[in-house]
Chain A
Amino acid sequence: MCGIIGVIDRRRECMNGSKIKEALSQMNERGSGEGAGYVAYGIYPEYKEYFALHIFFDNIRENKAALDTLLEKWGTIVHDEQIKTYEQHNIRKVHTPWRYFFRPDRSLMPKSITPDEDIVTHLVMKVNAAKNGALIFSSGKNLGVFKAAGWPEDVAEFYRIQDYKGYLWMGHNRYPTNTPGWWGGAHPFNLLNWSVVHNGEITSYGTNRRYIESYGYECTMYTDTEVVAYLFDLLVRKHGLSEKMAVRALAPPFWDEIDTMPEKERELNRAIRLTYGSAMMNGPYAICVANEHSLVGFTDRIKLRPLVTGELGDRVYISSEESAIRKLEPEVGKIAMPRAGEPVIGKVYV
């Protein structure tokens, strides 16, 4: 099941996290109390130049020194601190969440055109694959993921997400089947500025994983969702596709439709399918993907999971349930249900 929600203010007006907590709790029928999480963009304006790394440490004394050393080898730790948490009787604090603001030393990645991002990606893959009591679950600039095993309202209170102000929020209410109780398995998944919340199961995961791993990404989270973040990173950041075209590659039209398109469009869609066949995602899913500029929602090619959108003023809302959107904004208009595979994109004005 799982319930997802996302909202973006296209003028970058900030919202605090209290409403998103209520909206996500509205979908508790879709969860099981074993995982919930939020991501907010725009929350670290004073450190916006640096990569904000959120880490789960199993044990500060044992695991932190090694990570410090690794980060200092690849750049500078501008600031680091424990992420404030507030005890909730429903949440067993099995990890200590920590945040670093990190500046990579780009001279260490001389051949890359995006050296900063490549260093951070490399660190995320390395640390998470090593499984040495540290997990980097958030690595973008001016954004942060907050997640744990528990009900949405408990996780929200645990981090007091109402104290953070962001112009783009996403939330996820989890009904786990694969890794219940593991904090790393809760959504959102994040890499650099990409965050993903996902309801469903990707039946093409094996194909997608083999494809993305040949580009140097490593899937370490025992779940199909992380592959979505990596695919977006590859298609949009590295291959330069627009978000719309990236969704076209991941959930393309059927050949029957393509065959009847006008020639130019047909050639374009054929090229996308031929090139990105291994990136195509199959199976039932509804997904929200965000980066610093946009919020994108889309479903699988035959819409086996629900997705509803709404709009009010500068804000675009995407969720599994209309009731959740209404909790966030009772006055919301333009409620719509996007067609299968059709992306809904909310993009900041500047």
Chain B
Amino acid sequence: MTIGSVPLRFRVSIDPDRCMLCGRCVENCSYDVFRKDGDEIRINSRNCVACHRCLAFCPRDAIDIAEKPTDYRSHPLWTREIREAIFNQAKTGKIILSGMGNALPYPVIFDRLVLDACQVTNPSIDPLREPMELRTYLGKKPGQISLRETPNGDVELKTNLTPNLQIETPIMVAHMSYGAISLNAQLSLAKAVSRIGTFMGTGEGGLHEALYPYQQHMIVQVASGRFGVDINYLERGAAIEIKIGQGAKPGIGGHLPGEKVCADISCTRMIPEGSDAISPAPHHDIYSIEDLKQLVRSLKEATEWKKPVFVKIAAVHNSAAIAAGIARSSADAVVIDGFRGGTGAAPRVFRDHVGIPIEAAVASVDAKLRQQRIRNEVSIIASGGIRESADVAKVIALGADAVYIGTSALVAMGCRVCGTCYRGLCAWGIATQRPDLVARLNPDEASVQVENLIHGWTLELAELMGAAGINSIESLRGNRDRLRGYMLDEGMMKVLDVMPVGA
């Protein structure tokens, strides 16, 4: 024990004057922080992850949680996190696991971009009084259409359109697998997207029977482990998404520990109960862009060319060129997952250090596709770190067609972003498979909350567009003239192709 204990991450305290010993904190904490001992509640602060479950259910507001109660000697380079990572690895000799998205304090580009509004020379449009169109079609569009005029003066369409996904708001729910999150969490999301008229992703966890009623709003994922993939699965989805990479861990595969593979998950993933589900880093049948093309076309062939096929990549340095390759592969949309994208479990070193921000990735992908005149071949779906409606508006103005939200949707269901998803003890019933914890999440209630969130963002997006004098989302897409950079450096503004404020 040369290292010993490190300082507490959180100090939990209970105000004895307020506490009435009801024991709700003991029941609710899944990390064993609280223990009832006669007329007292004992606290083990070291176990606390700050998920706030106890706090949310304390009827008397008796609980307080303080972060980092003990200071290290401060040092700008040798931060607390760095030192603790070293302690951790010195003890274990292992890769450090982490949850949620990138936790380093990189500047947030979204927060240095501002939106435009109309004054005098053009009127703003009031969405309460005028039509405002947010409907979006995801998929391939023709570069031009060809029409035939009939002798009686009617115009007929000669061009055949390929299948597109129609969404009533440009906000979809990202791929979070059954395994990473609970069935109740998936059900809540599924109910919400069905009511709103948008879509959610299954993640690489197969499609549980309980979700079949919502399959018309599900995008089924084919990832490197191919878990849960068969023709039944492909045919049930409204679209298919090939996952190449993930923003939280570009370049590596996934890992669902065997302890989480219960009977139900073993069925939907189609793997033996209790076995680790390890997705390899690359797809073992994709070693080049032409292999991707074959997979895209095989999936289309298997589903009779009736479903759009998306390809998801992590935002990395060369995203633009990669996306241009994907656009030529018969794929219908490219999903770009920025380095702030969340995850159930990822090596900390990848989560914090690999990949690029979604804002820059979308800007460069859109520019490259336009430059090569293939922007119409694929839709661009942005994901990874979309926190509010303003982010949606900004990323669309940079060139995206739609967004995926993951963490935001979980927060709407109660998630406190404690980042402990990988332990499977989520007290909110979201990132866990323990039946008693899962039962805490009521899909009927949680789905209303997710629906409310997307609805609220949609209303705000409509207001932002109206203020900018735009009544259709197509006119916001790629409209970088309506963005200005505030305190962004010149190089960054060049990548984003935006002007500084005041210009």
Question: What is A's interface to B at a CB cutoff of 8 Å?
Answer: 177, 200-201, 203-207, 209-211, 213-215, 238-242, 245, 254-256, 264, 267-268, 270-278, 280-284, 301-302, 304
Contact = CB atoms under 8 A, between A and B. Distances in A.
14 contacts: A204-B479, A207-B479, A209-B481, A210-B366, A214-B370, A241-B147, A254-B133, A256-B131, A271-B157, A274-B137, A275-B143, A275-B159, A278-B375, A304-B122
Given A204-B475, A206-B481, A255 B135 contact: yes
Contact of A282 (B147, B155, B375, B469): B469
B161 interface: yes
Contacts of B366: 210
Contacts, number: 122
A284 B121 CA distance: 9
Interface residues of B, number: 45
A206 B480 contact: yes
A177 B155 contact: no
Given A277-B477, A284-B122, A271 B471 contact: no
B161 A203 contact: no
Nearest to B143: A275
A206 B375 contact: no
B122 A283 contact: yes
B130 interface: yes
A200 B482 CA distance: 17
B303 interface: no
Interface string B446-485: 0000000000000000000000111110111111111000
Contacts of A254: 131, 133
B146 interface: yes
B475 A302 contact: no
Contacts of A239: 144-145
A68 to B, nearest CB: 33
Closest 9 CB pairs of A and B: A206-B481, A204-B475, A277-B474, A282-B475, A206-B479, A203-B469, A201-B122, A214-B370, A239-B144
A86 to B, nearest CB: 33
Nearest to B372: A214
B75 to A, nearest CB: 46
B462 to A, nearest CB: 14
B156 to A, nearest CB: 7
A242 B147 CA distance: 9
Interface of B: 118, 121-123, 125, 130-131, 133, 135, 137, 141-147, 149, 155-157, 159, 161, 164, 366, 370-371, 373, 375-376, 397, 468-472, 474-482
A240 B146 contact: yes
Contacts of B133: 254-255
A206 to B, nearest CB: 3
Contacts of A207: 474-479
Contacts of B397: 206
A214 B377 CA distance: 14
Contacts of B155: 242, 245, 268
A201 to B, nearest CB: 4
A241 B130 CA distance: 29
Given A274-B137, A274-B161, A274-B164, A280 B479 contact: no
A271 B376 CA distance: 13
A177 B475 CA distance: 22
B139 to A, nearest CB: 8
A275 B141 contact: yes
Given A210-B366, A280-B475, A301-B472, 11 more contacts: A201-B469, A203-B118, A205-B481, A214-B370, A242-B147, A242-B149, A268-B156, A271-B159, A271-B161, A275-B144, A284-B123
Contact of B147 (A177, A245, A278): A245
Contact of B482 (A201, A206, A242, A301): A206
Contacts of B470: 203-204, 282-283
A267 B157 contact: yes
B471 A282 contact: yes
Given A204-B475, A274-B164, A214 B373 contact: yes
